[in-house]
Amino acid sequence: MLQAIRSKAGSFVVKALFGLLILTFGIWGIGDIFRNRPTDTTVATVGSESIDAAALQTALQPALERLSMQLGTQVDLRQAKQMGIVQQVLAQLIDNSILDQEAQRMQLDVSDAVIRDMITRNPTFRGAGGGFDRNAFEALLAANHMSEAQYVERVRHDIARDDLLLSITAGATAPQTIVDRLYQYRNEKRVADIVALPVSSAVNVGQPSDAELKKSYDAHPDMFRAPEYRGFAMASLTPADLAAKIEIPEAKLKSAYDQRQDEFVLPERRNVQQILAPSEEKAKAAEAALAAGKDWKTVAQTIAGQNPQSIDLGLVKREDLPKQLADAAFNLPLDKPSAPIQSTLGWHILRVVKIVPPTTQSFAEVKAKLQADLAHSEAADRLYEIGNHVDDAIAGGATLDEAAAKFGLKKTVISAVDDKGQGRDGKQVQLPVSPADVLKLAFATDEGRTTRVTQTSDGAIYVLHMDKIVPPSIRPLSEVKDKAVTAWQAEQRKDKVAKDAQSLAAEVKPGMQLATVAAAQGLKATTPPPFQRQSDSAAGVPPALVDKLFAAKPGEVVTASDATGSYVAQLIKVEEPKTTSKDATADLTREVTAGMQADLGDEFTRALRARFPVEIHRENLDRLF
């Protein structure tokens, strides 16, 4: 074949065909180089400036870190977007850009001397002597991934924006009449008698007829809605799967042992006992008793009043103890009490009853750990290569089954799972690798598609083939009859106690006391402490009643219901705040003034949008965040 092509290569026809082929590549192949432009990362345009994804990501990072610390769990971009954090940070960047451009238009300038003074007077950067500490300054820059020039530029913009806003808001002060009215509103208290009728008090509501059950079922479709389910086949492999089959040579294990000697040194440990006293006086009394030869545990219990279980701290390393206690314990000779030491927990007297000197674990002792560590590391490297091979095989037309069989991946078939990881039976579906990662990918993949090989945070790899997507649907009544009956009965109980509450309220005629009428029916009225409008101050008062009681007049009876039952309440007394002096309202004045100034700033920024139009690039924002 090649010889035939060579023999004809000189002919006019073949040359024409080659020319056509080259032209085709020029149009469809090389042309793509010129037609394909870098992906647009602009998420918003403000006047003449653009905000790109990198700027938004930089601004988001500290917000995510603060939120993660507050919640005690890592918050990712997807969660931040669901919580509105991405939108809030973008809105702040937009407002900053508007104010920056207005400051530039007005030619507001900030001198280097002002910036230098602002930085050196910042309490964050003060050292032990009270002066500017260069190390503290550089530590903040490092923590925020900023250069000194970037920080100076940020301060320059911050000062200009603050001065611009201050010129608009500085004159705003809360009028005293508004503060007084708001003080009265917030601090007014009310006293009420309350009768609670819990849902659980309604018994014997019976069974629904077929018609009643069908009516209740039709009226509450969301109670019987099945979520979207996804069925998929999955092939996966974890480092542990491979590591179990990897045998590390003895020479390599010994080499690793030699290189990692520091890891296998067990530091000095001491068996420490303590007497923990609540005061310095008790600690000194315990110290004197020990010096007189009294028993350690007896002194701890009789003089310090200590729980016997907290006397023996056990065999501890230096880092196991707070520094001030560790310094004392690890400098004590055997069986000699320390002087009293104060900590946040109280006053301590320590005694060391055993010292275990530092030791180095032998190769034999750590051989199993070295084998596991090195095998896991080698497995992770192999998994990366296997993942690439699986990707290539699937791209070349291999099925998931074929690729799994060829490269040793484990096959798992999930018939149906919702986005919370539950199957149709409501039980958690067991997945061989990170469920959160797998479900996120599964619910982002179209039916009939095979994903690329994906790696989890712990090094496992997996690939999915989406077999079936079952959209949300209402389960048929026959399938959820028991649940529907339970729902009907719950509704009947709520209706019954609500009617009982209305009936009780109707029996309280003008001049009558709710407590008296309730007692005649075997019900008890309670009188919580005086409460304010804020729900956190209304302890013992159902939130459903608070607004109604603050709208009522003394002696008036109101009713309310919530998920737990119904309530009848009678307003007994209104307690007005005793004073509205300026001292009493000073904090409120500052709060209202700050709110007015913030509102003025917001209005000013919104007005500037006519001069600096804002466009949010939703498609880019959704794609990149």
Give me the percent of the chain exceeding a pLDDT of 90. 59
pLDDT computed for residue 124 by the predictor: 85
The answer to whether 159 and 115 have CB atoms below 8 angstroms apart is yes
pLDDT computed for residue 493 by the predictor: 95
**Is residue 26 scored above 90 in pLDDT?**
no
**Is residue 13 scored above 80 in pLDDT?**
no
Lowest pLDDT segment from 12-26, 296-310, 610-624: 12-26
pLDDT tens by residue, 189-228: 999 999 999 999 998 899 999 999 999 999 999 999 999 9
pLDDT computed for residue 70 by the predictor: 77
Task: Report residue 374 CA to chain centroid gap.
Answer: 34
Q: How far is CA 556 from CA 392, 533, 544, 547, in A?
A: 78, 18, 16, 14
pLDDT tens by residue, 460-489: 999 999 999 999 999 999 999 999 999 999
pLDDT computed for residue 535 by the predictor: 61
The answer to whether 205 and 493 have CB atoms below 8 angstroms apart is yes
Chain mean pLDDT for the chain? 88
Lowest pLDDT segment from 55-69, 320-334, 420-434, 445-459: 55-69
pLDDT computed for residue 611 by the predictor: 94
The answer to whether 257 and 363 have CB atoms below 8 angstroms apart is yes
pLDDT computed for residue 521 by the predictor: 94
Half-sphere exposure for 461 (CA within 13 Å, toward CB): 23
d(CA 200, CA 83): 36
d(CA 300, CA 347): 12
pLDDT computed for residue 437 by the predictor: 93
pLDDT computed for residue 14 by the predictor: 38
Which of 452, 386, 456 has its CA nearest to residue 245? 386
Domains and CATH numbers, the chain: 2-35 (no CATH), 43-170+614-624 (1.10.4030.10), 189-218+482-575 (3.10.50), 229-247+365-471 (3.10.50), 268-357 (3.10.50.40)
d(CA 619, CA 625): 10
d(CA 92, CA 236): 43
Tell me, what amino acid is at 440? K
pLDDT computed for residue 121 by the predictor: 87
Report the 3 state secondary structure along 158-197: HHHHHHHHHHHHCCCCCCHHHHHHHHHHHHCEEEEEEEEE
Lowest pLDDT segment from 132-141, 171-180, 457-466: 132-141
pLDDT computed for residue 18 by the predictor: 42
Q: What's the DSSP call for residue 329?
A: H
Give the confidence band of 585 by pLDDT, cuts at 50, 70, 90. confident
pLDDT computed for residue 536 by the predictor: 62
Most confident of 129-138, 151-160, 168-177, 469-478: 469-478
Using DSSP's 3-state secondary structure scheme, residue 436 falls into helix
pLDDT computed for residue 5 by the predictor: 36
| Contacts (Cβ under 8 Å, ≥6 apart) of 48 | 101, 612
**Is residue 549 scored above 60 in pLDDT?**
yes
Give the confidence band of 537 by pLDDT, cuts at 50, 70, 90. low
User: To which H or E segment does residue 364 belong?
Assistant: helix 363-395
Q: Which residues of 88-115 are buried (b: 16+ CB within 10 A; e: fewer)?
A: ebbeebbbbbbbbbbbeeeebebeeeeb
Q: Is 277 left (phi over 0), alpha (psi -120 to 50) or beta?
A: beta
The answer to whether 547 and 504 have CB atoms below 8 angstroms apart is no
Most confident of 16-25, 293-302, 363-372: 293-302
Give me the percent of the chain exceeding a pLDDT of 70. 93
DSSP conformation letters of 553-608: -TT-EEEEEETTEEEEEEEEEEE--S---TTTTHHHHHHHHHHHHHHHHHHHHHHH
Report the 3 state secondary structure along 468-487: EEECCEECCCCCCHHHHHHH
Tell me, what amino acid is at 587? D
pLDDT computed for residue 569 by the predictor: 97
Give the confidence band of 9 by pLDDT, cuts at 50, 70, 90. very low
pLDDT computed for residue 538 by the predictor: 61
**Is residue 8 scored above 60 in pLDDT?**
no
pLDDT computed for residue 212 by the predictor: 94
